[in-house]
Chains A and B, each alone.
Chain A
Amino acid sequence: MTLAAVTELAGATNLAAATNEHLANLSNTLIYSAMAVYTLAFFAYITEWIFGSRSKIGRTAAALTAEGKGKASGKAPAVTVKKGGSTAVLERPKVVVRAAAGQRDVPDGPGAHGGDEQGDLYGRIAVSLTVLAFLIELGGVIARAASVERAPWGNMYEFNITFSTVAVGVYLTLLALKKNVRWLGLFLITTVLLDLGIAVTALYTASDQLVPALHSYWLYIHVSTAILCGAVFYVGAVSTILYLFKDSYENKLANGGKPGSFATSFLERLPASSSLDKFSYRVNAAVFPLWTFTIIAGAIWAGDAWGRYWGWDPKETWSFITWVAYACYLHARATAGWKGRKAAYLALLAFGCWLFNYYGVNILVSGKHSYADVSLGVLQAAGF
């Protein structure tokens, strides 16, 4: 390139740099605002849980303990009812749903508000605040993308803010689809705050652009699906953990034990362990093909950038380990004697691999994917 061209280009970038700086500042303001609103949402969820503790609904206990049983068998069994159509509703045959053999028939808890009206109100406020915070955070992510003129995932800071936005987006989408997931709110928002806190304190990086090896539309595909998978796996992991708690609780009740009052108040309001288990299975299974695709897209990108599609680079290796771990989990679900808690532990292990692949590999292990620091890592590894 001639020198004249260099100076000309420099002039153009200076102009652009000013507007970019402005956008970057806007983005930071939005992210901090989102954190503030998430904090409000967090308190609203807490309030919902506190109000909810006033109600003493012991559906699980009723279904599983000796005292409750007389009541339960006298009444209609816990069934979900689906009406055949809108006309002549009364006469239509109703479908009786029954847990598959080998599972308890336990009704789902009423949710964090525990049927308490005030609690429910706070829960609704919390969801509204979550929506608001989500929109603000989304704005922050978009402003960040505009300021760097590329997708907002060139370093760990951007990755974190995008990740939490997508995770909340997944939660809100499930809510919008009328899925019973409001109980996730408190746990999700707590970790979203944690994620954003880490992002703005430890990981913050001023806007910068990507080195040439990171310019590729496969990057967009690969990283965006990776973030989405992570967010969905995360939702799956939260419900898996809750499943484990709820399952112990139900086991204890079924064996005549008496759980503590806090555990009772808290766990009674969650869905039945079988519902939680099913939910986490569906979530993990639904996203597993996308995770497979993510790894393949990454391999195609690596083939273009580094001349080999698979080279056991630490990031590739851990993606593979995560993939195999989730495959284990899916297999366990289909293997006699491995369903239930054992499979749940595998799901958590798999999510642990995913987390390690992100934080652990980025920070501890150096490889070609060293976009954790914004230096020339990638290019140098590519030979430059």
Chain B
Amino acid sequence: MSKTTTNAPTAEEELGAAGSQLSTAPEESLSMPALGVIGWARWFWRQLTSMRVALLLLLLLSLGAIPGSLIPQTGTDETKVADFRKANPTLGDVYDKLGLFHVYSSVWFSAIYILLFVSLIGCIVPRTWQFVGQLRGRPPGAPKRLTRLPAYTTWRTEAEPEQVREAALALLKKRHFRAHLTGDNVAAEKGYLREVGNLAFHLALIVMLIAFAWGQLFKMEGNKLIVEGDGFSNTMTQYDDFKSGTLFTQDDLDPFSFTLNDFQGTYEKTGPNRGTPRTYQAKVTYAVGAYGKDKKTVIKVNKPMAIGDSKVYLTAHGYAPLLTVRDGKGNVVYRDAVPLLPLDNNVTSSGVVKVMDGYRNAQGKREQLGFEAFFLPTYTKGSETASTFPALGNPVLTLLSYHGDLGVDSGIPQSVYQLDKSHMKGFKDAEGKQQRQNLKPGQTMKLPGGAGSITYESTAEWANFQVTRQPASGWALTGAVAAIFGLAASLFIQRRRVWVRAVKGADGVTVVEMAGLGRSESAKVPEELGDLAGILYDQAPGAPEPDEDSTDTPDPEVVPAERPEK
């Protein structure tokens, strides 16, 4: 009797057919493979689709996901990876070999989840068949000794056994059990939705994986900076930068265009969080297709504009001073809003202006002009080099002027935010120093020697938009929702069986026995059995007991407190 749990018989052994097939979980077998290739293949397949291997693969998957969260990943932050490589060159090489800089697309990680999903498919298909078989069949008849079951009750009645069985059958059917008469007992089962839910859940996992993989192959992502008043149409050439999945083609771009009418940002005015952004929104007019009607909408940080499969996100903003450059004679040679890049949280910004053609200097010779620009949206005395607030409070634009050759024709691609000064000379002010001037909106800086002028007219804002297309995300979502419902059904619904046996005892009085068995132990099974017994008892009331002491104390022989010896 001092036996521990390990050498107790399993539920299956004890209950025989009655407890079988309450679930469609695959059976575990450790038997050695039969000889030959087919034997081995079959053995391997059985192992792969067993619960134990599924469990190990799941464990491996969670372990395998860990390094990707601790080591910088190229997918999320390329510069961090580069920094890491610089700091730890040897370790970097090792990591490279192991694919640890891109864990989630590495060979070994893929191997784990592909094996897991092969195992999953190999698990679902047979289980589905098995389940269909169970639906076609009928619940197994009562085991010989109902007293062995987790929930049991009995009483004696004057009613005839046939009557009791009929009543039990009607009652169980009314309670939506699948019930039938077999021999001296009624066998019933309920809660098949649990299995349905479980299969749906695992199937939904496959749908999600395929949707995710599809999305990776056909995705695209592009960025476009737009100044207020300007527009954009969705073609590859218009993007500032563009990335796409391996199978994406230009034809997959959704045809649409939009114009940025107005960008608005508000910020915390006071307190320790002064300057913290509160809202950002971009008012746009957009049109779908080549001849679509113009419509207006607002894009916010969390509220992208969705067109077809594409979504347009607002991802950054800054200022674009509107500048006019005139030559010595007063002819306008350049007029544009120049986007400047923010350097800090208060949107201190910098950038350059390039006047490439149309300009002639005081001597009438063709030349190019360049300006370096620093911009403070809120200038405060005492803080000359950094803005003190992100909104346009007291904007000041600092310009440094240059002339010469911008080098844009050299064929080497140039950043629009940098000036190549190797062939440029600075304009000199009266003291012979580099000309530099602070301008407020409306003010003009005259270039020395009648070389012309540059005027800071006003300030526009720009916004950066990220356009993404992640196809099959609808499928991923459908899979996810199905997974949740499937899980809920699988975890909350109890699959259980009830047996009612009614036979004439030796003294001619009918003995009714009822027992319940659940897939996993649950307080609900005995509760439900109590309910059913109560109702049935009313229809087949108790008869006097032959002897007193077995009323509420079942014979210890029959229901032992301890497990009987094997």
Contact = CB atoms under 8 A, between A and B. Distances in A.
Nearest to A6: B391
Contact of A305 (B155, B302, B553): B302
A173 interface: no
A102 B11 contact: yes
Contacts of B151: 95-98
Nearest to B300: A212
A254 B4 contact: yes
A374 B480 CA distance: 32
A299 B468 CA distance: 15
B5 A292 contact: no
A214 B2 CA distance: 59
Interface stretch (B125-133, B252-260, B426-434, B554-562): B554-562
A184 interface: no
B54 interface: yes
Contacts of B325: none
Contact of A307 (B304, B393, B527): B304
B176 interface: no
Interface stretch (B70-78, B81-89, B398-406): B70-78
Interface stretch (A34-42, A196-204, A323-331): A323-331
Contacts of A336: 10, 28, 51
B468 A93 contact: no
B508 interface: no
B311 interface: yes
A195 B65 CA distance: 28
Interface in A199-236: 206, 208-209, 211-213, 215-216, 218
B269 A313 contact: no
Nearest to B264: A1
A216 B10 contact: no
A10 B491 contact: no
Contacts of B1: 69
Given A13-B269, A95-B530, A309-B476, A66 B152 contact: no
B302 A213 contact: yes
A13 to B, nearest CB: 6
A239 B11 CA distance: 25
Contact of A84 (B55, B265, B476, B530): B530
A317 B76 CA distance: 12
Nearest to B221: A307
Contacts of B214: none
Given A317-B69, A383-B315, A353 B62 contact: yes
Interface string B16-36: 000000010100100000000
14 contacts: A77-B554, A100-B11, A101-B9, A102-B9, A209-B273, A254-B4, A296-B480, A331-B54, A335-B52, A336-B28, A338-B52, A365-B70, A379-B301, A384-B277
Given A13-B269, A206-B272, 19 more contacts: A1-B264, A93-B154, A93-B155, A94-B153, A96-B152, A97-B526, A105-B562, A215-B301, A289-B487, A299-B480, A304-B304, A308-B468, A312-B73, A317-B65, A321-B69, A328-B62, A376-B345, A384-B277, A384-B280
